[in-house]
Structure formats: structure tokens, C-alpha cells
Structure 1
Amino acid sequence: MSAFTSTVTSPVEYACIHPSASCLIKRAMDILGALLGLSLLVLILLPVAIAIKLDSAGPVFYSQVRYGLQGRPFRIWKFRSMVSNAEALRTLVANEAQGHIFKNQNDPRITRTGRWLRRTSLDEFPQFWNVLKGDMSLVGTRPPTADEVANYAPHHWRRLDVKPGLTGQWQVNGRSCVTDFEAIVQLDLDYQSRWSPLYDLHLILKTVQVILKRSGAY
């Protein structure tokens, strides 16, 4: 699937873009948050990179094509938390989620360092670069993969009426413990209906609390 060269063909006609996508206040928050996050990334980059390399062979960073606003493809960046050939081994791991997502609480492909990175959400820090570029926002929907959107029903496409986010309704309401795709979709749509810059700030602060408690991540 040559997903990265063009947008995904959605069965939904976009009559308008969600107001959050053109809000200057939200974009200003994204830029400020991204600059802060990238500053922290510089501080943690060397020790995290050393931990990843000592734990398993392979690159420090992991990248993958994801889909954002109105199905536009972009390349997401993370610290690598799995073995380097994780995609090839995926068929050997049972999917414990329902619907168009893949989750396994004890996924053997996750390295020891990777499990710690996920629990602390440090693996997500390179995505501040995606936020600065405008591919993502600090708050939004979870960015889907190519195999997910290939099986979308019409109502699933409404998730992509907003930019994907580093955090969102899903992340502050259970994170990885939410294993039903339809529940995630409903959380994303609920975010769209409740959205405001102030609500984004509320979700950011709540995300910090969730990360500090290390709840719901694996």
C-alpha cells in the first residue's frame, strides 16, 4: 500500500474542517509545548539512546507512516521500544484488542528498556517534532496506521476531522487498558464535541497526572 505518497481515500465527504484545525490559539499552544518538549528531548536523548542500544540491537528511533487530518499521511517518530524486526513477528503475537487496533499486554517484542519507556511515555517524546511541524497537535486523536484505516467504516473516518495528538481522551481515560476500538472512536468523537483551547489545557494537565502515576500504559 503506497500510503505515504497520497492521502487515503475516505468514504466521507468532508463538508468542513473541525474548528480546532484552524485555531491560532491551539497552534500557539502546540508550538510552545513542542519547543518545551524538544528541549527536554535534548536532555534525555543520550541516556535513552544508550539504554536502547545496550538492551537490543537496532536503531534508536522508530518511524512509521500514520494518518492525520483528513487522512493525510505523515511519518511519526518514537524511541524504539520493540525489537528491530517487530513488524515481521507481529503474526506470532495474539491480539487482545477488539476492532481495528492491535494490543497485547505482555507483547514479547517489547524490550526491557522499551517497556520502561512506554510506562513513562518517554518513547513519545520524539513526536514533539511532529507537533512542531504541524503534522500533529498536543491534543487530538490517536494517529492510525495504514492497516487500520484500510478497514475503516464510514463513521470511523470522523476521527480524522482533527489533527492526531500526543494525548487525548483515550490517553487520559485508561490508555492501553482501553482495548475496544469502538470505545476509542467514541472518546475521539466526544473530544471533538467538547473541544476548546481550555479543554485542551485540561487534558494536558490530566495527562501529566496519568504519566506520573504510570497508570494504564504497557
Structure 2
Amino acid sequence: MISQTPEVDFPITFFEDTAVMELPHRIAVLEAVAFKKAFQHLLLLKDALPEQIVLDCNKTTFIDSSGIGALVSNLKLAREKEIKLILQNVHPPMMAVLSITGLDRTLTIKSPVQDPSASPKKLSEKHLPTTHPSVRSWVKRSIDIVGSIIGLAITGVLLIPIAIAIEIDSPGPLFFGQTRCGWMGKRFKIWKFRSMCVNAEAMKAKVKNQASGAIFKNENDPRVTRVGRFLRRTSLDELPQFWNVLKGEMSLVGTRPPTPNEVDIYEVPAWQRLDVKPGMTGEWQVNGRSQVKNFEDVIELDLRYQQNWSLMYDFKLIAKTILILFRKNSGAY
């Protein structure tokens, strides 16, 4: 997916047991790949590893999901080598991203650059980057709100019969909540009508993964209940996600929301798919869905959505999704 590396310098200065790496003005996907390579190279420059590495962010005013991916990767590498990683001179735009992703609580941050015009509470709202035009589109957000309200009304009508069917077939909770990664990797809990047995997560290790890469699929997953198969085939299990859309964690149309376990094994370029909000539907939904078993294909579909996005494109994908729902065996396994 990445064919070249930009001419970006990452100047390194050594002070006794400390190495200081200067980061560039922006860290998008190409810079992020270079950032990871420069960090790995740093650990090979001297026979003795530094006790701590300081990332000087004084010039950095923009970072996207790929930059976050490179930062997470470098943090893991530093911990493996028992090296303390420190960020200093972090400007509000980068601090806002670290805040929404929770990395501000994981990383050691020294001397952050303060914005006197913004309170800590409003910091992230004011300085969050525009990683993709869809992120800041108020029209798209308005459509999401209206669509989610209509969707929740439909969900309310179908709630009782679905609840009765689930309880009779497999007694237990009506809803299933699972942690997923949204825009910039921010974690949220996605909601579905439960389509698997109660102890499905504990049984996952015993089920063979028929997909390749950072996704999990099994055509005959034994954890799926009889009612669950119907809900998945008709996509009724996903109706509660209208609540996620209303809250702004998801959009009606977007990319597939990955699990943290999937994101943990991403290479830096794969983080590009997190530059937009995840959606209830998208390219992956109308182009095979359960038949897409290769992670590289998922990435290609997600990036296609980002490249082609427009409000009209969203409407086309919604229309295609509605048509597909009426086809036999169009849903998930």
C-alpha cells in the first residue's frame, strides 16, 4: 500500500543515556512509516541502548491515525527494550488526539504546550484534526442523526419479537456489547442483538478462523444460535448500532469497525482505515461482506470509500445496502 517514503528528517541528538528525536511538522501515513523506520534505526546506532528516548514534538501540529499507529508501535518496541519513551513540547492539536485515544494516560508527556484560549475540557473539541472531509461534514452528521432516530424507532417496533425469539432460543442477555476502535483508534462499545451463545467470547479460541490477516470469520461458527443465524442473515442483529450512530461513535456509512485485537497487529499503513468514522454499512457491506476473507481486501475497500467519499456516494451505498438486505443470504454468517 505504501510505495515510497517521503524525504523526512528525524534529527537525533544524544545526551549521555538519553536520545532526543525531533518529529516533523505533520505525521500522516508516509511520514508515519518513516517515523517507525527511524525509531527502529535509532536502536541500532549505538552498542548500548539509551535509557530513555525523548520525542520532541515542538514542530508537530498534525497527526492522523497512521501517525498514532506508528507512535503505538514505537511505544511497544521501547517497552520491549525496557526504554522509557517520553513526549515533550506537545502542541494542543497533537494533545487532543492523544486525549481522545487515551494515549495521554499511557505515554509520559513533559512540558506540553498550553493553549490559553481553551479549557482542558474543550481542548479536544477545538483542536481535533480533519483527517478526512467526512469527519467535519455537518451535513453528514445531520443525516446520521436523522437516520439513527428513524432506525431506533424501527428498532423499538421490532424489539419485543426479537427479544422473545432470543430468549426462547438461547436464554441470556438481549444485547451484546463489544469494544471496537473508531475514528483515530478511539475505543467505544458497539451494540448488537445477541446472535451467539452466552459464552461465545470464551469459545472463540476453539473456532477455526477461515479468514486471513487481522480479521476473524467462520462460515459455520458453532457459537451462532438458530435465531442468531436469522438475525445475521437479515442484518437485524445490527439495529442497536443506530444508538452508536446517534452518539456520534459511528456513522450510517463508513468503514468496518475493527476490534482492538485486530488493531494491535496492524502495520502502520493499515491505520489509514481509521481516518474516518466506522459505519453501519460501507463498501465492505455491499461488496461481499462475509465473503471478504482477506484482510488486504478489507483495507482496499475501506480506502476506496475514503477516496470516493461524497454525500451522494453515501446515499448510493445506503441504497445498495437496502437492496442487498432483500437478497437471500446477503448478511453475515
TM-score, L = length of structure 1: 0.94
Matched with 2:324 is 210
1:11 is aligned, of 59, 70, 74, to 70
Contact 1:78 1:127 (8 Å CA) reproduced: yes
The share of aligned pairs that are identical, in percent, is 57
Matches within 5 A, 1:98-177: 98-177=212-291
- 1-side partners of 2:297 and 2:309: how far apart? 18
Does 1:73 pair with 2:187? yes
What is the aligned-residue RMSD (CA, Å)?
1.7
Contact 1:61 1:77 (8 Å CA) reproduced: yes
Change in 2 beyond 3 A, CA 1:86/1:63: same
- 2-side partners of 1:31 and 1:140: how far apart? 15
Query: Gaps (5+ residues) in structure 1?
Result: 1-6
Structure with higher strand content: 2
TM-score, L = length of structure 2: 0.62
Query: What is the total number of aligned residue pairs between the two structures?
Result: 212
Aligned-partner SS, 1:10: helix
1:90 is aligned, of 186, 192, 204, to 204
Matched with 1:4 is none
- 1-side partners of 2:136 and 2:228: how far apart? 35
1:172-200 Cα shifts (integer Å, max 9, x gaps): 00011111011011000000000000000
Contact 2:213 2:296 (8 Å CA) reproduced: yes
Aligned-partner SS, 2:326: helix
1:4-49 Cα shifts (integer Å, max 9, x gaps): xxx9952179974101011011111101110110000000000000
Aligned-partner SS, 2:277: coil
Runs of 4+ in 1 over 6 A off after TM superposition: 12-15
2:294 is aligned, of 174, 180, 184, to 180
Query: Gaps (5+ residues) in structure 2?
Result: 1-64, 72-93, 98-128
Q: Which amino acid in 1 is paired with 2:201?
A: E
Contact 1:177 1:216 (8 Å CA) reproduced: no
Matched with 1:53 is 167
Structure with higher helix content: 1
